[in-house]
A and B are shown apart, each in its own frame.
Chain A
Amino acid sequence: MSIAAPTEPSGAGQPTPVADVAGESLLRGAWRRLRRSPLAIAGAAIVLVFVVVALAAPLLAPYEPASTQWAGLVTPQSVPGPATDHLLGLDSFGSDMLTQLIYGARQSLIVGVVSTVLGLSVGATLGLAAGGFGGKVDTIVMRLVDVLLSIPSLLLAVSVAAVIGQSQLSVMIAIGVAQVPVFARLLRGSMMLQSKSDYVLAADALGIRRRRIVMGHVLPNSMGPTIVQATLALATAIIEVAALSFLGLGDGDPAVAEWGRMLVAAQERFGNDPRLAVYPGVCIAITALGFTLFGEALREALDPRQRR
């Protein structure tokens, strides 16, 4: 009988070693948790497909966008349905449905990203200013944020869009503005929390300059929640674009394919031809779902309490 150390799989009574888990960085841990979460993978897959379709729209779409050469086939009673040359049929304007859906993805991506970047950059600047300077700046910024938050987000977007008119830019500005207070409050709150933490106090005590503390410690640690919020904001933006279109405040340019407008245009024909509304509606829902799933999974993965 040899005295070799046992190398069999560990027995049930043994507590799992925790060193490897506790020792890894937050980002690595987050990445590991993300890869294991089926919801994250589903969300990421939807987002990936959406982005690829949006970017490669000219290659994927069978026709030119918004070409109305088949408009004559559309009658008040019916719109031609799926056929070999139009896989998903025509839309209510007489354009190829599939082409419009593909270019719609592109439009959603542009509007979503631009408005979110806008909301994020303005909101983050305000939040940083409030959290970083404190005092009067903080009071003024937070009062402004309170004012903006006192209007429900969609109505804020509506009141902006109603004033600056119908264009792609105004839709992006309207949705971006509606996201400003959310990002401002998020970043400021996150910074306030960080400022009270021991490592910032320690850095302060070491005489490190305030700007360096903010830029080097506080900001990087606030990135997680901000990224999560931005992902979720993309979902909101895509839905709000559609809502603005529904309210007649969308991009007025008929040459631009946009899911919300397709949905609205299909409304009158809904009873006879639900297909016209269902396609764009489902596109909006799935895309928003993708960003929501991915954002939520990201939130859970970045939460240090979730270490498992």
Chain B
Amino acid sequence: MTRPVGVRSEPLLEVEDLAVVFHGSRGDVEAVSEVSFSVRPGEHVALVGESGSGKSVTALAVMGLLPLRSTTVRGSIRYDGDELLDLDARSRRDLRGAEMAMIFQDPMTSLNPVVPIGVQIGEVLQRHKGLRKTEAREVSGDLLGRVGISDGKRRLKEYPHQLSGGMRQRVLIAIALACEPRLLIADEPTTALDVTIQAQILELLRELVSGTGTALVMITHDLGVVAGLCDEVHVMYSGRVVESAPRRSLFGEPRHPYTGGLLGSIPRLDSARGEPLTPIPGSPNDALPWTHSCAFAPRCGNRVDKCTVQTPALRGSEHVSRPGDEQALRCFNPLDTREAS
């Protein structure tokens, strides 16, 4: 999985100090804060975390899909140098589906049940490429072929309920890639699928984005998905990034205890026989407020007194194994690299 890194081009997407606040009936809830990351053309970046960590909210904020009335988005999201948060709704719609596209988690519910899939693919082409209905049909059929649905032309008339989960996810991928977007966000694209189908879909995604210069943001809780696909990893916990690192160093020398925990709780083929998996104790609901503590502290094995009274800042990490790679860490008492391996 090596692509020519070569010249470091300008980032396509730059998220800086992003904060998302939901205004609910019980007051405001800050779902995401202090999130920064960037993606260059052709680069594959992962946002990793458990459910509720704010990774999907981050993606929806980038896409501009958060409900306007009940959310406030602060910070900066720059796309190709333009500040997205300054754009009006209309301009953002022009970008969505054309420049940036998103694949959603649940293919069973993400397709309209009463509209043929051909129309659901075709409408995005008609919208952004100005194709007529018949042309859009033609292209949609080809797209279905490209995502591995044989006899695509004939199946355009079919409805979502006539397709399997894997097939539907392929349709959603076809929709997302229809206008050849430069930025693709995949939100847990395999979580709802059978294990055997998961691998196929990941392979398909890899094929479709590699070599096209498409920037990919992969949102997942599954580090296995990251291992096969991504260059950069940002681990999120309770709405903030706790560790950012290139895939290699993250897997090799995880620094944040949470990252270490995530790695420790996945079964590996190369681990010694009989070696127990070490799940992270507790659940994300046990989080402390970031305002004056580390949210992960209640579940952390490396906790020190400071962790429950002070907020750790995100800093560039000291042990940079490969110069040039950005690394950052939000922890008072990180894992010792040797100890963790």
**Residues of A that sit less than 8 Å from B by CB:** 3, 5-6, 8, 10-18, 308
Residues of chain A contacted by B33 (CB below 8 angstroms)? 13
Flag whether B295 is at the interface (Cβ < 8 A): yes
Task: Enumerate 8 A-B pairs (CB-CB under 8 Å) in ascending A order.
Answer: A10-B289, A12-B28, A13-B29, A13-B238, A13-B239, A15-B52, A15-B238, A15-B285
Flag whether B126 is at the interface (Cβ < 8 A): no
Query: Among the interface residues A5, A6, A13, A17, which one has the most CB atoms of the partner chain B within 10 A?
Result: A13
* Nearest CB in chain A to that of B27: its residue: A12
Rounded to whole angstroms, the CA-CA distance of A15 and B28 in the bound complex is 11
* Nearest CB in chain B to that of A18: its residue: B285
* Nearest CB in chain B to that of A14: its residue: B289
Among candidates B25, B29, B240, residue contacting A12 with C-beta atoms closer than 8 Å: B29
* Nearest CB in chain A to that of B293: its residue: A6
Q: Are A13 and B285 in contact (CB under 8 A)?
A: no
Rounded to whole angstroms, the CA-CA distance of A236 and B336 in the bound complex is 72
**Pairs of residues from A and B, 9 with the lowest C-beta to C-beta distance, nearest first:** A11-B289, A11-B291, A12-B30, A14-B289, A13-B290, A13-B30, A13-B289, A10-B289, A13-B239
Residues of chain B contacted by A3 (CB below 8 angstroms)? 305, 309
B240-259 residues at the A interface, CB under 8 angstroms: 240
Q: Are B291 and A12 in contact (CB under 8 A)?
A: yes
Flag whether B308 is at the interface (Cβ < 8 A): yes
Mark each residue of chain B from 44 to 66: 1 if its CB lies under 8 Å from any CB of chain A, else 0.
Answer: 00000000100000000000000
B270-287 residues at the A interface, CB under 8 angstroms: 284-285, 287
Flag whether B202 is at the interface (Cβ < 8 A): no
Count residues on chain B whose CB falls below 8 Å from chain A CBs: 25
Residues of chain A contacted by B314 (CB below 8 angstroms)? none
Q: Is the interface of B mostly helix, strand, loop or mixed?
A: mixed
Flag whether B292 is at the interface (Cβ < 8 A): yes
* Nearest CB in chain B to that of A1: its residue: B309
Rounded to whole angstroms, the CA-CA distance of A13 and B238 in the bound complex is 7
B1-50 residues at the A interface, CB under 8 angstroms: 21, 25-30, 33
Flag whether B288 is at the interface (Cβ < 8 A): yes
Rounded to whole angstroms, the CA-CA distance of A171 and B32 in the bound complex is 62
Rounded to whole angstroms, the CA-CA distance of A14 and B26 in the bound complex is 12
**Residues of B that sit less than 8 Å from A by CB:** 21, 25-30, 33, 52, 238-240, 284-285, 287-293, 295, 305, 308-309
Residues of chain B contacted by A6 (CB below 8 angstroms)? 292-293, 308-309
* Nearest CB in chain A to that of B289: its residue: A11
Residues of chain A contacted by B52 (CB below 8 angstroms)? 15
Rounded to whole angstroms, the CA-CA distance of A10 and B285 in the bound complex is 13
Q: Are A14 and B284 in contact (CB under 8 A)?
A: no
**Minimal beta-carbon separation of B295 from chain A (angstroms):** 7
Rounded to whole angstroms, the CA-CA distance of A160 and B239 in the bound complex is 65
Residues of chain B contacted by A14 (CB below 8 angstroms)? 238, 287-289, 295
Residues of chain B contacted by A12 (CB below 8 angstroms)? 21, 27-30, 289, 291
**Minimal beta-carbon separation of B290 from chain A (angstroms):** 5
* Nearest CB in chain B to that of A8: its residue: B292
* Nearest CB in chain B to that of A6: its residue: B292
**Minimal beta-carbon separation of B323 from chain A (angstroms):** 34
Q: Are A15 and B290 in contact (CB under 8 A)?
A: no
**Minimal beta-carbon separation of B259 from chain A (angstroms):** 20
* Nearest CB in chain A to that of B33: its residue: A13
Rounded to whole angstroms, the CA-CA distance of A304 and B289 in the bound complex is 29
Residues of chain B contacted by A11 (CB below 8 angstroms)? 30, 289-292
**Minimal beta-carbon separation of B35 from chain A (angstroms):** 12
Query: Among the interface residues A6, A8, A15, which one has the most CB atoms of the partner chain B within 10 A?
Result: A15
Q: Are B309 and A15 in contact (CB under 8 A)?
A: no
- On whether A15 and B291 interact (CB within 8 A), knowing A3-B309, A6-B309, the answer reads no
* Nearest CB in chain A to that of B31: its residue: A13
Residues of chain A contacted by B308 (CB below 8 angstroms)? 5-6
Rounded to whole angstroms, the CA-CA distance of A6 and B307 in the bound complex is 11
Q: Are B295 and A13 in contact (CB under 8 A)?
A: yes
Residues of chain B contacted by A15 (CB below 8 angstroms)? 29, 52, 238, 284-285, 287
* Nearest CB in chain B to that of A5: its residue: B308
Rounded to whole angstroms, the CA-CA distance of A17 and B290 in the bound complex is 16
**Minimal beta-carbon separation of B168 from chain A (angstroms):** 25
Residues of chain B contacted by A17 (CB below 8 angstroms)? 285
Rounded to whole angstroms, the CA-CA distance of A12 and B19 in the bound complex is 12
* Nearest CB in chain B to that of A2: its residue: B309
Rounded to whole angstroms, the CA-CA distance of A308 and B25 in the bound complex is 10
Query: Among the interface residues A6, A10, A17, A18, which one has the most CB atoms of the partner chain B within 10 A?
Result: A6
Rounded to whole angstroms, the CA-CA distance of A16 and B31 in the bound complex is 12
Rounded to whole angstroms, the CA-CA distance of A6 and B291 in the bound complex is 11
Q: Are A16 and B30 in contact (CB under 8 A)?
A: no
Rounded to whole angstroms, the CA-CA distance of A10 and B26 in the bound complex is 13
* Nearest CB in chain A to that of B52: its residue: A15
* Nearest CB in chain A to that of B21: its residue: A12
**Minimal beta-carbon separation of B211 from chain A (angstroms):** 40
Query: Among the interface residues B21, B52, B238, B285, which one has the most CB atoms of the partner chain A within 10 A?
Result: B285
Residues of chain A contacted by B26 (CB below 8 angstroms)? 16
**Minimal beta-carbon separation of A73 from chain B (angstroms):** 56
Rounded to whole angstroms, the CA-CA distance of A11 and B33 in the bound complex is 13
**Minimal beta-carbon separation of B26 from chain A (angstroms):** 7
* Nearest CB in chain B to that of A9: its residue: B289
Residues of chain A contacted by B309 (CB below 8 angstroms)? 3, 6
* Nearest CB in chain A to that of B295: its residue: A13
Q: Are A13 and B284 in contact (CB under 8 A)?
A: no
